[in-house]
Amino acid sequence: MASVDLVGPSALEVGSRHTPSDIVTGPCEKDVSLTGEASTMDENPPQLQDTSNEHTLSSLSTFRKTVLLLTFALANFIDVCNVSGVAIAAAQISKDIGLETSQVVWTITSYSLCFSAFLLFSGRLSDLFPVGIIFESSLFVLSILSLATSFMTSNKYALLIFRGLGGIAGSMVTFGRLAPPAVPSSYHLTVHMYPDLTQQAAKLAILGLAGGLGNVFGLVLAGLCMEASYHWFFRIIAILCILSTAITIIILPRTGSLSASDGEIPSWKRMDAPGVVLIMGSLICFMLSLTQGPIDGWQSARSIVPFVLSWPLGIGFFVWEANIPPRIAILPSTVWSITNSVIASLVVLVPMGFWGTSQLLFATYWQTTFNWAPLHVAVAVLPQGLMTLAVGVFKPIHPSYHRKAQIQYTYWRNTCRRRRGLTNQIRRRTR
């Protein structure tokens, strides 16, 4: 399911008192290890704040802050909507542009592949250059690409290329919160608008909630648009992007880079080009392999070659990042010292993998096999999004239930172990 990143006691914070806002804006001199010790490291990630720019954003009026926050939330909504909504429209798109049944997945994969491949690089751009300009230009480019996609009615390659370019633009607007440097523009701006940690956590929760709403209402929006044509879904996305761009141009003040420049290291070195190339190559090859496997066969060269190439590229990326100063790395090794970061990263793959495959599969199957109307399909898939949204909203309101569940699990696990040990002792004595 699409994750609702509501800020609260999350998997990253179990056993740690650090909030996501601490991860983003914490002092760069402190490196928190797994043992909780702080060590002074000169090579930590480049998250130094420019106090003048921070003052410009934090001193805005409440009205301007609220409007900007809602605009950033709308950007996150658009990003998730661009995936969930297209799942409903995929069947009609494939008929219109001549995609085979096995190739329908590319209507979503083209966007998601480019989004994930460029996410870390987009976060670094937001760190080195004026983040307001990046946010506005990315939204504007996404609006143009969405509008162009709506007119692609016969050329499948052009539509998929525009979808991929839209994924790149989307990665510069929204998510990416595990690594401090990988905080694309909407989160970056929100953190600097609300320097107070209590306010910051609440506002970041709103951005996460907007992503969950995008998963829910993206289905409904696509279903309604499909009553006319799927082209209108992309046109509405373009209208929302243009509206968001206009609001930020008018309200968002001009600022420089929100991270202090490092005179010792030029900007081009801090772009970490080798790391960017390695992670892009690994992700693209891996996703290409998994996508082409069902189409051409798992024993075909189009599936095997990219799958084999993805592993040395991925391993090479982590080796490279571990051997360069964290101030330069796009994914510094200090990230893995955050408590439970590895576990949380692995666990989130399960629901995200299920959501990414099941929605498209159900939507296409119901439309092509049972001839369901798109709006009917949207309503049928809606419970997935609603359940995700409900869990995300419920957790911060009643965090005690989450902790009670952990305590009860530990209690019953230990009880079962004691009973098992007692049973084994009885068996040994009765032999």
Eight-class DSSP state of 65: H
Q: What is the pLDDT along the chain (431 residues), one digit of tens a residue?
A: 444 444 444 333 333 334 433 434 443 433 333 333 333 344 444 444 444 555 688 889 999 999 999 999 998 899 889 888 999 999 889 888 888 777 888 888 899 888 888 888 887 887 788 888 888 999 999 999 999 999 987 888 999 999 999 999 988 886 433 333 334 678 878 888 998 888 888 888 888 888 888 888 888 999 999 988 999 999 999 999 999 999 999 999 887 665 555 556 777 778 888 998 999 999 889 988 988 888 888 889 989 999 999 999 999 999 999 999 888 888 888 888 888 888 888 888 887 778 777 888 888 889 988 999 999 999 998 888 788 778 767 766 665 555 554 544 454 455 555 555 545 555 565 55
Residues 6+ away with beta carbon under 8 Å from 185: 122, 126, 131, 132, 134, 135, 138, 172, 173
Q: Interior CA angle at 177 toward 76 and 70, to 5°?
A: 30
End-to-end CA distance of the chain: 52
Token pair listed for 379: 């309503």
The enclosing H or E element of 354 equals helix 349-369
Q: Is 30 helix (H, G, I), strand (E, B) or coil?
A: strand
Looking at 370-398, list the stretches that DSSP marks H as alpha helix, in order from N- to C-terminal side: 374-397
Whole-structure pTM value: 0.74
Contact predicate 48/28, CB 8 Å: yes
What is the rounded CA–CA span in Å between residue 329 and residue 223?
A: 42
Give the span between the Cα atoms of 300 and 141, in whole angstroms: 36
Pull the structure tokens for residue 65: 């802050």
User: Which helix (H) or strand (E) is 39 found in, with range?
Assistant: strand 38-40
Question: Is the distance from CB of 43 to CB of 29 less than 8 angstroms?
Answer: no
What is the DSSP code (8-state) at residue 259? B
Q: Distance (Å, rounded) from C-alpha 372 to C-alpha 359? A: 15
**Residue 353, CA distances (Å) to 3, 321, 327, 359 in order:** 11, 26, 32, 10
